[in-house]
Structure 1
Amino acid sequence: MKLTIKNVFRKARRALLTAAAMLSVASASAQTTVQTTFKVCPLNVDGLPQKFAGINLNPDGPGSEGTQKIAQYIVKSGIDVLGLSEDFNYNGDLKVGLDGQYQMGTWRGRIALNNEGNVDLMKLRFPTDGLQFLVKNGYSFDAESWAPWNQNYGHFSDGADELITKGYRYYRVNFGQNIVVEFYIMHMDAETSDADNKARASQWKQLRDAIIANNSGLPKIVMGDTNSRYTRDDILNLFTNPIVADGNYTVSDVWVEKCKGGLYPELGSEALVVPEADRTKSSAYVANEIVDKVLYLNPTHGGMQLTPNSIVFDADNYLKADGTLLGDHVPVVVEFRAEGTTYAPATSDSFWRGETWVGNDQAVYLYNVGSHYFVSNDFAPVVTNITQAPIWHIYGGDQFTISNEDGYRLQMGQFKQQQGVVSGTGATTFNNHEPGITAGSHRIGLKDFGTFLDTRTHFFTVATEKGKKIYTAAETKDVYNDWLLISEEQKQAYLTYVGLYNKALSLLGTREDLDAPLSSVLQDTQNSNYSRSADDIKKLQDMITEYERLNVKITDAKFATTCLPWNGIVPAGVKVFTATKYDDKATPCSVILKSYEGDVLPQGVGVVLFSETPGTYTFTRTDAEAAAPADNILSGTYKRIAGGNLDFENHNYMLLGNKTAGVGFYRLAEDSYIPAYRAYILRDKTAASLMAKVVFSDATGVAQVEMPTNAKATGVYGIAGDKRSKMVRGINIVRMSDGSVRKLLVK
């Protein structure tokens, strides 16, 4: 039975780029509409060893020569990003065939026994995951992370999944123009026993939870050998629907969208299998389902969006000379169009402003305008990030030296070995400083350059020689000998600005009531510089503060509900309750509330609020942790849910209100919606009444809410359920406006 592989993953942190990275990477303006296309492909390269420990393990596999041909296919196809699985023992051949055209992620090794004596076969587990990530040269990727699956099944049978350290990986690819897409690649549990299906279900849940936690606002692509079929695995309820319900992303399967008209195969129906005789024909895969899948997720708040232009099951071009497939899986090639709005802070190059030359122990960072390098403790220019550059001191007035506290000095002389940064002694005493071409810049020069016969002034500069950057002396005046003197205050201002900008950007989409003003602030601060940085920093900080505060109004009825978009501190004067039971047997129906004693309310938890003093109360975001309360039947949302997205056909949605029958949970009208930051109760259509009274289950210090006594009859029925126009002699069943049902005897 063929061995298969699974992949593991840890999610990357939520911010788009760290402040340090932004210091060294040029970026687009804060809001720019951009577009590009790229091709992706999940591909199982069938890289199990043909022989292992003297056993024919995978004799029909591609082996060394076949793997090189697979790599040559990849290069010829022009696919931009690939998620490979089963890249085990022929990784070297893969590299040979790729011919340096692709960047590669981490390779975690081959399947091989060590030479440390006897091996306990029952504990045998190879440390490789078999996954590989390929990105075509010209694009960049980062943030690689990996995590093992929480559950596998089968050691020497059922796919032998437990022999490999399977899991999933995460990457972030920059396609230029600040178009960044997140990728999840994986190889899931094989085979179809109940235990295999259960393990695979666990893996879909694990991947789902990681994606929900990584609400970065970036589009995502999930692809790999899932060993799953919609007809067999409940992918929709395990993965797709929970992510959509979370509200931050849509989820689509490219094959379902492009080949099946958006209709998913029915769970439990007959599998849609490609006939064995047609496996070398691309057209045979369009109507049939295979386990190699490409799903994509778009952020619901806008920003960059993905659209699949095409999907090709490229069997026709994946053939050996004898007409058989190169491997046991066909390439699934999807072309995506990425289009939308990107945001990014001002680059450091546009932020810096040159300080006035003072000398006399003036402390500055030295920044070369033409090359964008800082002078550092290196003999050639290498530092573009101010956080890695040292402070330099300009000693003297008309004549001056430049050195730093690490013992390095600037030197400029007649010979090449005298140019640049030196340690110890040997600093040049410069005798010329004049304004440069760039506003606010300075030139650092020396007259009488090495000999009394040469009275021209030469300037300390950065030049390129044989493809390498060097320090040298130049007579020509250009931007490469323009130096900005950057103060520590400028550096700190930029670090603060970039940090706040990226933090504000990470919040976009989490507060729909504030997203429009935040977008305006991001645009307004996109071209920040040192002169205006104080105002821009305040705008960003004020916006972040708004996002981290939520005002909730408790009405004169003394009650409200809420659901916070983050962990929040419970304000003084407010008592918090969860709902533990919906009592259908009570007359009228009742919702049983239980006091929540924590000082911190967890994110996404629906609760009831009570205060003896009605008014507006402010919940403030906190990093303190809080566990979600158990047995809480309240649901919550911090996004407005339109009525068209509610399943009124099968469910009632009960919202807290103070209406004719008093304080309680009332059924939501079908032409209405659930507001943002509110809690509600979801009930089966056949079980929920029109209204449920609020009842407290513990000693809360809150007076129990009583039903008013002026409820009116809304319908009269006989004992057999027949409707009557009025009460008659005998027993009458009366439905009241408060939702209760009473038996009344008329004599």
Structure 2
Amino acid sequence: MKMLQKFLLLLGSVQLALVAAQTSGNFSILSYNVAGLPELLSSGDPATNTPLISSRLKAYNIINVQEDFNYHAALYASDTHAYRTPTSGGAGLGSGLNTLSDFPYADLNRVKWDACNLNSGDCITPKGFTFARVSVSVADAAGGFLVDVYNLHTDAGSDEGDISARAKNFAQVAAYIQKSSVGMPVIVMGDTNARYTRPGDSESLHSFLSTTGLTDLWVSKIRGGSFPSSGADDLVCQFPFPVGTSQADMNACEVVDKIFVRGNPALSFSFPRSTYANAHTAFIDASGAPLSDHYPILSTLVWELSPYVHMGDAVVGGPHGDAFNDLVDLFPTSQPPIASSAVPRLTSITLRGANRLDAISHTVQLPSTTSPAPSKTLTHGGTGGSPSTLTLSSNERITQIKACSGKHNSRTRVFYIELTTNTGRAVSAGKQTGDCVVMNAPGASAAAWGLVGFYGRSGDEVDRVAPLWAVVQ
């Protein structure tokens, strides 16, 4: 847990510089089914091709691979990414899902599908999806932010049982995203085994996108936002592509490997400036043959942080309880980028605590042209402890947070929090420990930044907490 806190503290320190500069940037993401089944079960030559794949992965910032089974060591052998998920085992034991990243990650979780269909070998190995919270940083911008990265491999095949199992797979990962990535930027990429033209799959894909708020980069970038019609002829890619096939033709056909993304009020992805490509020509052997039975798909995502809302500075506590993110309630209808006029103002906050931090309840005044302006109260945690309330004056804002964590019943929780305003007034709850973090509002610009809410995890108590800062009007 201390390693996680060090990772988040480092992220917090670079986030302040990023907010001050209001910078944008980009990073590359790649999804690739590397066909790493045992030689006897493989349609290709993984013993020969996997080392060739390995040496070419370093060009991309975040990579999700599927079917990384029995040649995992060879896949990692020539790769230079600093952060790589450990194998979950060979075929029959592991999911074959791994992530290679230039950026650190935390909270890795592997989840097995609840449903599978017996044909195509889907029930033989524990296929499913993975979750990791990645800290994206850009060296020349000296900044970073958090994004939740999902890797998946759904049920294969095209018969009725496969399509039904696949629909349940999509519903399962969508429910996980709704619960664990509430209010967070999200990237989902992997082998979906699904096509928009296939009845059943089309409905599952559309439901997945509408439930999660994700955008399919192939549909957005290559088809101008126009989805293929269910029941239409499949837009199948030739395999392999004939020599001389244009990049436009390689991009135009539909592959089952897909990339879905979304931003949040603090971070926007620019779809017009981002790219999408079938990266076939980057992964061929000396004779021009593909190194896998799937094509790799590639995107360069262009991002921009909001100049008015910021997720920072660090996170204190452990991965327990249920996730919450006040961005969802503070900006329920706003799409990034957020306008300054849409930012609410914190007016009061109540902390409950005794030995630990039991609950946080805060009230914000919502932007409005009416008088008095409407307000909203948000509460996280339970009902224990004694309350302490701080009501802010019109020109007062919370600019510093001190939070401490500790172990209770073998779980890391928030034991103490103290909030201090720009006038020096403070409110606190709980008991301090030896593991404390001080978080300050972004202060390198002339804007008046202050606390507007929180994100983290809670149950009967507050398990994890981090601030949401905003420019106070």
Instruction: Give the TM-score, by structure 2 length.
Output: 0.63
CA deviation vs aligned residue, 1:105-134 (integer Å, no higher than 9, x gap): 0201123xxxxxxxxxxxxxx221111111
1:421 aligned partner: none
Flag the 1:234–1:303 CA change in 2: closer, same or farther, 3 A.
farther
2:420 aligned partner: none
SS in 2 for 1:278: coil
2:453 aligned partner: none
Does residue 173 (structure 1) correspond to residue 137 (structure 2)? The answer is: no
Does residue 193 (structure 1) correspond to residue 148 (structure 2)? The answer is: no
SS in 1 for 2:121: helix
Flag the 1:305–1:159 CA change in 2: closer, same or farther, 3 A.
same
Describe how 1:35-46 pairs up with structure 2 within 5 A: 35-46=24-35
Contact 1:231-1:265 at 8 Å conserved across structures: yes
The one of 213, 217, 231 aligned to 1:250: 213
CA deviation vs aligned residue, 1:573-624 (integer Å, no higher than 9, x gap): xxxxxxxxxxxxxxxxxxxxxxxxxxxxxxxxxxxxxxxxxxxxxxxxx968
The one of 288, 297, 303 aligned to 1:323: 288
Contact 1:217-1:303 at 8 Å conserved across structures: no
Q: Write 1 or 2 for the structure with the bigger share of strand.
A: 2
The one of 305, 312, 315 aligned to 2:277: 312
1:108 aligned partner: 88
State the 1:235 CA deviation.
5.3
State the 1:347 CA deviation.
7.3
Describe how 1:626-641 pairs up with structure 2 within 5 A: none
1:329 alignment partner AA? H
Distance 1:127 1:505 in 2: 33
Describe how 1:474-493 pairs up with structure 2 within 5 A: none
Distance 2:70 2:359 in 1: 55
Q: Using CA pairs under 8 Å that are at least 6 residues apart, name the structure with larger relative contact order, 1 or 2.
A: 2
Does residue 29 (structure 1) correspond to residue 9 (structure 2)? The answer is: no
In our comparison, the structure showing a higher alpha carbon Rg is 1
The one of 261, 271, 282 aligned to 2:234: 271
Contact 2:12-2:314 at 8 Å conserved across structures: yes
Contact 1:218-1:304 at 8 Å conserved across structures: no
Distance 1:347 1:151 in 2: 37
Distance 2:101 2:231 in 1: 37
2:55 aligned partner: 72
1:143 aligned partner: 107
CA deviation vs aligned residue, 1:277-331 (integer Å, no higher than 9, x gap): 63664443222111010111223xx211122411111222321112211111121
Number of residue pairs aligned between Structure 1 and Structure 2: 346
Contact 1:47-1:61 at 8 Å conserved across structures: no
| Identity across matched positions, percent | 23
1:546 alignment partner AA? T
Contact 1:48-1:61 at 8 Å conserved across structures: no
Distance 1:252 1:514 in 2: 17
Distance 2:303 2:28 in 1: 11
State the 1:135 CA deviation.
0.4
2:144 alignment partner AA? N
Contact 1:279-1:315 at 8 Å conserved across structures: no
Distance 1:160 1:346 in 2: 45
1:659 aligned partner: none
2:117 aligned partner: 153
- Identify unmatched segments of 5+ residues in structure 2: 138-142, 335-339, 353-357, 366-376, 383-457, 461-473
Describe how 1:194-593 pairs up with structure 2 within 5 A: 194-232=160-198, 234=200, 237-241=203-207, 244=210, 250-276=213-239, 278=241, 281=245, 282-299=247-264, 302-308=265-271, 309-341=274-306, 343-344=310-311, 506-512=325-331, 544-546=361-363
Contact 1:240-1:251 at 8 Å conserved across structures: no
Does residue 91 (structure 1) correspond to residue 78 (structure 2)? The answer is: no
Distance 2:281 2:193 in 1: 23
Contact 1:29-1:343 at 8 Å conserved across structures: no
Distance 1:306 1:512 in 2: 17
CA deviation vs aligned residue, 1:143-186 (integer Å, no higher than 9, x gap): 111111010012xxx31111111110011111122321111111
Contact 1:67-1:93 at 8 Å conserved across structures: yes
CA deviation vs aligned residue, 1:530-589 (integer Å, no higher than 9, x gap): xxxx99989xx99933279xxxxxxxxxxxxxxx999999xxxxxxxxxxxxxxxxxxxx
Distance 1:26 1:565 in 2: 24
Flag the 1:71–1:22 CA change in 2: closer, same or farther, 3 A.
closer
Distance 1:44 1:305 in 2: 28
State the 1:97 CA deviation.
2.2
SS in 2 for 1:266: coil
Distance 1:69 1:201 in 2: 34
1:62 aligned partner: 45
Distance 2:379 2:359 in 1: 18
Flag the 1:330–1:165 CA change in 2: closer, same or farther, 3 A.
same
Distance 2:8 2:82 in 1: 25
2:96 aligned partner: 130
Distance 1:64 1:312 in 2: 27
User: RMSD of the TM alignment (CA)?
Assistant: 4.1
Contact 1:172-1:181 at 8 Å conserved across structures: yes
Flag the 1:521–1:20 CA change in 2: closer, same or farther, 3 A.
farther
Flag the 1:237–1:65 CA change in 2: closer, same or farther, 3 A.
closer
State the 1:275 CA deviation.
2.8
- Identify unmatched segments of 5+ residues in structure 1: 1-16, 52-56, 112-125, 349-494, 525-533, 549-563, 570-621, 625-747
1:263 alignment partner AA? S
